[in-house]
Structure 1
Amino acid sequence: MDPDREFDALRPLGGFFVLRTATAADGPCPGRLPTLAQAYAPVAPDAHGHPLAARVRTVADRIGAPEPRVAASVAHQALAARLWSVALGCAALHGRLPDLDPGLLRWDPDATAPDDLWLTEVRRPPAGARTLADAVLHGHLEPLGESLRARYGIAAGLLRGNAASALAATARELDRWARVNRRTEVAERARARTAELFAHPLLRTTGTRAGLAFRRRSCCLYYRVPGGGVCADCCFPRPPRSSPRAASG
């Protein structure tokens, strides 16, 4: 199948699964956007033009975050959800995924959610769980987390929890779509790949799973956004009233 048609097949799953290519006719010229590799590069304290710092400021303005650390966590989880959706969606629907090298993915830090992603070159590695882990965990979320920790002081456990929460949500959405559309083979592949990914050392201690349900052991800090409350998979049953850093680990 033509790569653009494979990516078009992801669109019915929802906006988080959309991956556009440099040959697509819609959207801005991808050459004007930074790559995710540029976004993950170390951020200097005064780097106001850095794409990751710009993204955190954009998110902070839109959600009214009380401090940059909260906006950084929300931005991280949103981008993690986009990356998991594209990778797991391709693996479940097609049995393979494109090379999601950060240098091949262009990204608009000023866009509304979900994050806008462009793939500038299509390459096809095999789509086993190890490849998914290499593509998303090691290729993206580790360098992204390092940059966010260096600039905003976010705990590693919180970021791993964000990654796990985003993966669990992606798996639920894929399973829902597959069952509505009677694509049992898609549901089975998604469940198998998700289970293998949650066995990865970076994710296996992030929370507890029962089927598709997931309860994380950390908090993404969204409760600190005005009117935010706690997420469905949060470790807290209600917003905590203790120190604002109590749930950072």
Structure 2
Amino acid sequence: MHLEPDLAALRPLGPFFVLRTAGEPPGRLPALTRVYDAAAPDVQPDFLTSRVRGVATALGTREARVAASVAHLGLAARLWSVALGCAALHGRVPDLDARLLRWDPDGSAPDDLWLSAFRPLPGDAATVARTVLHGHLEPLAAALRARHRLAPGLLRGNAASALAGAAGQLERWARAHGRTDAAARARSLTAELLSHPLLEGAGTLTGTAFRRRSCCLYYRVPGAGVCGDCCFPRPPRSSPRATSG
């Protein structure tokens, strides 16, 4: 069974749901396992640090931990979108093993991802959690924390926020296109995933609206405000330590 048709069907949902499968990725892009395995900042080449620097430049911020949080949020959103989209629309997910998934650390947002092999998996919440949370977001958080002062609560909030954002986009699309079955599956999967021990307590989901308990620090980007699901109603004036989750 091949997943290419199902993955191609996600394209109308938006760029965060796209997973490249055709042709070879340009250059010698790393598999994500190489990115996560670089647990120490002095390991070369350090693809993760390169990504954070690129995000900092794009945002116009000198605060590396702000860029690191935004980079984490962006990659988490991509991974959740692909997995949740396939699970809700097709009842199965691609195996997103970090050894099979190639990533462009120098690309623009949303992150470019290529899947080098197709292995269909069940589309239940346990499989999605094992694929995304344990397969990617745990080692990604560990690698980022080895380099930057990012609190566990902030990273947990990012993961939950990215999931809720992907679910909201998916449910809106599904309802607009008469796929009430997919909308219901997306809502059910999201609620179950948010109760996972790695995400539990990160925020509150009311219908399709999510309110996180931590801040991703985006408000510290010059000219930025708070995100729509932020725990703060307006940009805080308190010390950075109080905003790290």
Q: Give TM class, smaller chain.
A: over 0.9
Counterpart position of 2:11: 11
The answer as to whether partners of 1:30 and 1:106 remain within 8 angstroms in 2 is no
Corresponding residue of 1:42: 38
**Which letter does structure 1 place at the counterpart of 2:101?**
L
Q: Which residue of 2 aligns with 1:176?
A: 172
Offset, 1:241: 0.7
Q: Provide the secondary structure at the position in 1 that maps to 2:242.
A: coil
- Aligned partner of 1:52 in structure 2 is 48
Residues of 2 paired with 1:66 and 1:241: CA distance?
18
Checking the alignment, whether the CA contact within 8 Å between 1:66 and 1:224 is kept in structure 2 is: no
Aligned position for 2:190: 194
Which of 76, 80, 83 is the equivalent residue of 1:80? 76
CA positional deviation for 1:114: 0.3
Segments of 4+ moved more than 2 angstroms: 28-31, 42-49
Alpha-carbon displacement from aligned partner over 1:107-166 (angstroms, at most 9, x marks no partner)? 000000000000001111211100011001111000000010111121010000000000
Q: Where do 1:29-178 residues align within 5 Å?
A: 29=25, 32-47=28-43, 49-178=45-174
* Offset, 1:202: 1.3
**Is the CA contact 1:141–1:163 (under 8 Å) kept in the aligned structure 2?**
yes
Kindly state the Cα deviation for residue 66 of structure 1 after the two structures are TM-superposed. 2.7
Q: CA RMSD in A?
A: 1.3
In the alignment, structure 1 segments of 5+ residues that lack a partner are none
TM-score (norm 1): 0.95
| 1:3 counterpart letter in structure 2 | L
Contact 1:99 1:123 in 2 (8 A): yes
Q: CA deviation at 1:32?
A: 1.4
TM-score (norm 2): 0.96
Q: Is the 8 A contact 2:10 2:18 kept in 1?
A: yes
Match of 2:216 in 1: 220
% identical aligned pairs? 67
Matched to 2:98, the amino acid is P
Structure 1 residue 4: Cα displacement: 1.7
Q: Say which of 202, 209, 214 aligns to 1:206.
A: 202
Q: Which residue of structure 1 aligns with residue 20 of structure 2?
A: 20
Cα shift readout 1:214-249 (whole Å, capped 9, x = no counterpart):
110000000000011100100001111111221112
Report if aligned partners of 1:47, 1:53 keep a CA contact under 8 Å in 2: no
Query: How far apart are the structure 1 equivalents of 2:213 and 2:42?
Result: 33
- For 2:100 and 2:59, how far apart are their aligned partners in 1? 29
Residue type of the alignment partner of 1:17: F
* C-alpha separation in 2, matches of 1:38 and 1:216: 30
Distance, in Å, in 1 between the alignment partners of 2:78 and 2:167 is: 12
1:183-208 superposed Cα distances (whole Å, 9 cap, x missing partner): 11110111111111011111120011
Give 1:29 deviation, angstroms.
Answer: 2.8
1:234 aligns with 2:230: yes
- Displacement after TM superposition at 1:30 (Å): 5.4
Q: Which runs of 5+ in 2 are unaligned?
A: none
Q: Distance in 2 between matches of 1:127 and 1:175?
A: 16
Amino acid at match of 1:4: E
Q: Distance in 2 between matches of 1:193 and 1:29?
A: 31
Q: Which amino acid aligns with 1:10?
A: L
CA contact (8 A) 2:52 2:67 kept: yes
* Closer, same or farther: CA 201–20 of 1 in aligned 2, 3 Å: same
Deviation at 1:45, TM superposition (A): 3.0
